[in-house]
Amino acid sequence: MSRRVAFRWNGRSLEGSLAIQGRRAQWTREGRTLDATVAREGAWVEVVMSEGTARCAVNAGSREVWVSCRGRTYVLERAHRTAAGPAAEASTDEIRAPMTGRVVRVDARPGARVAEGDLLLTIEAMKMEFRLTAPEDGQVDEVHCADGDQVELGQVLVRLTPASAAAPGGGAS
Amino acid sequence: MTPIRKVLVANRGEIAIRICRTLRTMEIPSVVVYSGADRGAPHVRAGDEAVLLGPAAPAESYLHVERILAAARATGADAVHPGYGFLAENAAFARACAAQGITFIGPSPESMERLGSKSAARLAAARLGVPVVPGVEDVPDAARARQEATRIGYPVLLKAASGGGGRGMRRVASDEEMEAAFESGRREAEGAFGDGRLLVEKLVHPARHVEVQILGDGRSAIALGERECSLQRRYQKLVEESPSIAVTKAIRTKLEKAAVTLACDAGYAGAGTVEFLLGPDGDVYFLEVNTRLQVEHPVTEARFGIDLVRAQIEIARGGPLPKRPEPRGHAIEVRLNAEDPYRGFIPQSGPITLLAWPAAEGLRIDAGIVEGHPVHAHYDSLLAKLIAHGRDRAEARDRLVAGLQGLALLGIRTNQGFLIDLLETEDFAAGETYTHTIEAHAWPAPDEIPDEALLAAALASEAPRAAEASGGRRDADRYSPWRLLGAWGRA
């Protein structure tokens, strides 16, 4: 039995199908098929292929899946969160301060529709400016900071409702 | 001899841990200090005792002189090691230690002042016949800066008179750019060092950054070869190595002689670094002196088989300078930073959800992080240093690349993949390393993911469903020791 798996990465979608039988796994994507023997130990997935063995570390969160393979780390977004977990988890996006700093300017307005990549606000720390942008299309629900505010690391600055979660039962699949 | 019976380490992160390691081998009890944000941080466990200084902000903790001295008194520490950064080059702190009878492990406040200020050090160098980059020390305004730049010839560099790390530094190519560059450079210098004075220098191009490690005992000094640290971004070093491929025996003699002359003139006691630019024609220009242990000191340790922290402590005790060991092989260090190299090297913070270090021959790792503990935005983005030593440069590089490839770190973005790319460039292999190399290249983010990584991601992200179906928590699988595929293959 095979299952379709979809991620978003660097703004594009990556889809493939995964078939499992015992420890044998088959991954098919874009016409290529990878046959491997796999074993899992905690966060580690060992992938034994004909051309060698890769040991990958994986942390699968409800939104993102982090994979480290041969010294490179990939952050994948789950493309179908509503299908993959309880709907409550996908209800809002919280934009948190990536570091302690000062809010230079707030562009997000409550109620405004935003597209992925739209500038929400700009923070300054250590004399460098950081632009916080919308992670996906949606609507700004709440704005919790103003120009000139001092903000702490991890503080929620803006809440968004993603377009994908706005319609009740609106799973992407 | 000055007795040193207990040392307070006035720092955090990897350097605090590294200093504690030497103290342990010397059987000297250690005291570490920490801020509220660093409760449970790995450096807190590295010392024999730990003292909470105050809230997260450096001014309230690692930069708070009175609190650090109070911690020393409370624990009976009779010496302080400042590490690098924070109070390491603060002469007032060194004086405050002395006033309380506490040994500051570092140079005297007087030699710190003579060599620590770029302007003062440049004057000293010029007086001693050490070549400096043509420039003017204290430029009051943009108009004067334009005048001087025209005289020296564009392009020029604006730099902060005090402090380093590239803050306040601006490259200026023409009169038109000067006004804006001067004002922003001055603001940044003022904000970073409380001193907005700028100097104007000729831009040496293409240039390598080469520095000499020195040890002085107040009367004489020895030089321990050079480190090349040309590969930088935003004027912050990323890769350091020794020896430099571009330094010939004749150049090395010139560099070491200049460094020792400066150190002796200042009555320098302790470890220090004299930085130079190496121009395209083999000319060397004195840049500045760092009156402390450098981040990249392990490169010299690997090559000379010496413990520089031990040397610092023995000098502070009044002991003799170590004999200069013979260097062997080649050493390269990279700095693993919490930063996103594909988005302007923006610092990253957050919890480290997974961390597994590589084990490899000839590889040393100095780290300040552990799995499960967050990286804070309050502090430096340096997470760890990987230092590889080999018989030659190619072997050191191969070991370092293998080390980086064997490292797994999840939860925050780092420059790990970028460092691999950098070490694997033809330019690096050929030793074509200049201060502008990183910024002159485009460093595209990877645009493909290996299929095995996607397979692993797909496996792991599908698995929690089975856990849910059987009543488990979604994230429970992360902690389960063994999970065989059959368990979720049925889902």
DSSP for B416-483 reads HHHHHHHHTSHHHHHT---TTHHHHS--PPP----HHHHHHHHHHHHHHHHHHHTT--TTGGGT-S--
Q: Is residue B152 assigned to a domain?
A: yes
The pTM of the full predicted model, rounded to 2 decimals, is: 0.81
Task: Compare CB distances from B461 to A32, A43, A78 and report the shortest one's residue.
Answer: A78
Band the pLDDT of B164: cuts 50, 70, 90. low
Model confidence pLDDT, tens digit, residues B362-386: 999 999 999 999 998 889 899 999 9
CA dist., res. B365 & res. B298, Å (int) = 10
Q: Flag whether pLDDT at A84 surpasses 80.
A: no
Does B309 lie in the same domain as B214? yes
Are B410 and A9 an interchain contact pair (Cβ–Cβ within 8 Å)?
no
Are A56 and B452 an interchain contact pair (Cβ–Cβ within 8 Å)?
yes
Question: Quick one: DSSP state of residue B323?
Answer: P
Q: Flag whether pLDDT at B394 surpasses 50.
A: yes
B48-to-B25, B43, B437 alpha-carbon distances in Å:
13, 11, 43
Q: Is residue B323 assigned to a domain?
A: no
CA dist., res. B264 & res. B243, Å (int) = 24
The two counts, helices (H) then strands (E), for chain A are 2, 16
Does B84 lie in the same domain as B21? yes
Distance from B125 to chain A by nearest Cα, in Å?
Answer: 31
> Which residue, of B202, B231, B259, is where some domain finishes?
B202
Reduced to 3 states, what is the DSSP secondary structure of residue B90?
coil
Which pLDDT score, from 0 to 100, does residue A89 have? 40
Does B261 lie in the same domain as B190? no
Band the pLDDT of B169: cuts 50, 70, 90. confident
Does B167 lie in the same domain as B292? no
Q: Is the dihedral of CA B251, B254, B255, B256 positive or negative?
A: positive
CA-wise closest residue to B243 among B259, B257, B255: B255
Q: Is residue B128 assigned to a domain?
A: no
Chain B positions in Cβ-Cβ contact with residue A43 (cut-off 8 Å) = 354, 410, 460, 478
Q: How far apart are the first and last CA of chain B?
A: 73
CA dist., res. B126 & res. B191, Å (int) = 29
CATH of the domain at B238: 3.30.470.20
Q: Is residue B120 assigned to a domain?
A: no
Q: Is residue B115 assigned to a domain?
A: no
* DSSP class per residue in B264-319: HHTT-EEEEEEEEEE-TTS-EEEEEEE-S--TTHHHHHHHHT--HHHHHHHHHTTP
Question: Domains in chain A and their CATH numbers?
Answer: 2-81 (2.40.128), 94-170 (2.40.50.100)
Q: Is the dihedral of CA B359, B232, B393, B401 positive or negative?
A: positive
**What residues have CB less than 8 Å from A144, skipping those under 6 apart?**
A155, A156, A157, A158, A159
Amino acid at B62: Y
Q: Is residue B325 assigned to a domain?
A: no
Task: Compare CB distances from A5 to B449, B451, B462 and report the shortest one's residue.
Answer: B462
* Lowest-pLDDT range of A4-13, A125-134, B66-75: A125-134
CATH of the domain at B26: 3.40.50.20
Owning domain of residue B442: 330-490
Domains in chain B: how many in total? 4
Does B224 lie in the same domain as B175? no
Does B450 lie in the same domain as B369? yes
Band the pLDDT of B485: cuts 50, 70, 90. very low
Chain A positions in Cβ-Cβ contact with residue B417 (cut-off 8 Å) = 71-73
Task: Compare CB distances from A71 to B191, B416, B459 and report the shortest one's residue.
Answer: B416
Model confidence pLDDT, tens digit, residues B176-231: 999 999 999 998 888 877 888 899 989 998 999 999 999 999 999 999 999 999 99
- The torsion of the CA quartet B74, B79, B83, B85, rounded to 10 degrees, works out to 70
CA dist., res. B48 & res. A121, Å (int) = 45
Q: Flag whether pLDDT at A152 surpasses 90.
A: no
Q: Is residue B362 assigned to a domain?
A: yes
ipTM of the shown complex: 0.83
Contact A140, A108 (CB under 8 A): yes
Q: Is residue B372 assigned to a domain?
A: yes
Which pLDDT score, from 0 to 100, does residue B382 have? 96
Does B194 lie in the same domain as B217? no
Does B305 lie in the same domain as B216? yes
Q: How far apart are the first and last CA of chain A?
A: 19
Mutate to test the interface with B, among A63, A99, A104, A119 (most CBs of B within 10 A): A99
Does B341 lie in the same domain as B464? yes
Does B475 lie in the same domain as B458? yes
